[in-house]
C-alpha cells in the first residue's frame, strides 16, 4: 500500500492556495518566487519520434523559475514556469524546432482578460505533419497548462 501511495503522489498535479504544487518535482512555484505575483507553469510533452531543439524563448514581464530546456527528447516532457510581480499578469513564448517545422508554445495569464494560449501555432514546411493539443488546468493568478506535440503524418 505504501508503494502505491508514493507512485500516485509522483503523478498528480494539485493546485494549492499558496501556489501551484508540482508533485512530480516536490516543489511549488511559491517556494521559488518572492511574495505575491502571477505564475504560469507549462508542461510540454514531445509525443513524436524526433528531438525538439529550443530556437528561442521570451518572457518580457517576469523571470524564469524553470527555464525551457535546450532539447526535449522524443516521448518525454518538460516543465517550464515563469513568475512576475506584476499583478496584471505575465505572458511568455517558447519556440522549438522539430524536423521541418517549428512549434510555438505561447501563454498569457492576465487579469481581467484571463488565461489564453492564442499565440500557440506550428510553422515551417512540415507544419501540417504535426498537431498541438492543449489543456488549461488552472487560471489567474497561478495558471497551469499542458501542451502535447504529436504527429499527424510523417514528415519527409
What pLDDT, on the 0 to 100 scale, is given for residue 12? 30
122's grid cell: 506550428
Other CB atoms within 10 Å distance of the CB of residue 69: 17
Q: Which element (helix H / strand E) includes 7?
A: helix 2-9
Reduced 3-state DSSP string for 77-90: EEEEEEEECCCCEE
Higher pLDDT, 145 or 16: 145
Sign of CA dihedral 109, 114, 115, 116: negative
Q: Which domains, from first to last, does the chain contain?
A: 30-151 (2.60.270.50)
Q: Collapsing DSSP states into helix, strand and coil, what is residue 6?
A: helix
pLDDT tens-digit map of 106-129: 999 887 678 889 899 999 999 899
Amino acid at each position: 500500500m505504501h508503494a502505491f501511495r508514493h507512485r500516485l503522489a509522483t503523478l498528480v498535479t494539485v493546485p494549492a492556495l499558496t501556489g501551484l504544487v508540482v508533485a512530480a518535482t516536490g516543489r511549488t512555484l511559491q517556494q521559488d518566487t518572492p511574495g505575491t505575483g502571477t505564475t504560469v507553469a507549462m508542461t510540454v510533452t514531445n509525443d513524436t519520434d524526433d528531438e525538439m531543439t529550443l530556437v528561442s524563448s521570451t518572457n518580457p514581464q517576469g523571470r524564469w523559475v524553470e527555464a525551457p530546456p535546450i532539447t526535449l527528447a522524443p516521448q518525454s516532457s518538460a516543465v517550464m514556469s515563469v513568475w512576475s510581480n506584476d499583478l496584471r499578469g505575465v505572458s511568455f513564448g517558447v519556440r522549438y524546432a522539430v524536423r521541418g517545422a517549428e512549434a510555438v508554445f505561447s501563454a498569457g495569464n492576465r487579469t481581467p482578460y484571463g488565461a489564453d494560449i492564442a499565440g500557440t501555432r506550428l510553422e515551417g514546411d512540415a507544419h501540417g505533419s504535426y498537431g498541438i493539443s492543449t489543456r488549461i488546468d488552472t487560471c489567474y493568478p497561478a495558471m497551469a497548462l499542458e501542451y502535447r506535440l504529436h504527429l499527424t503524418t510523417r514528415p519527409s
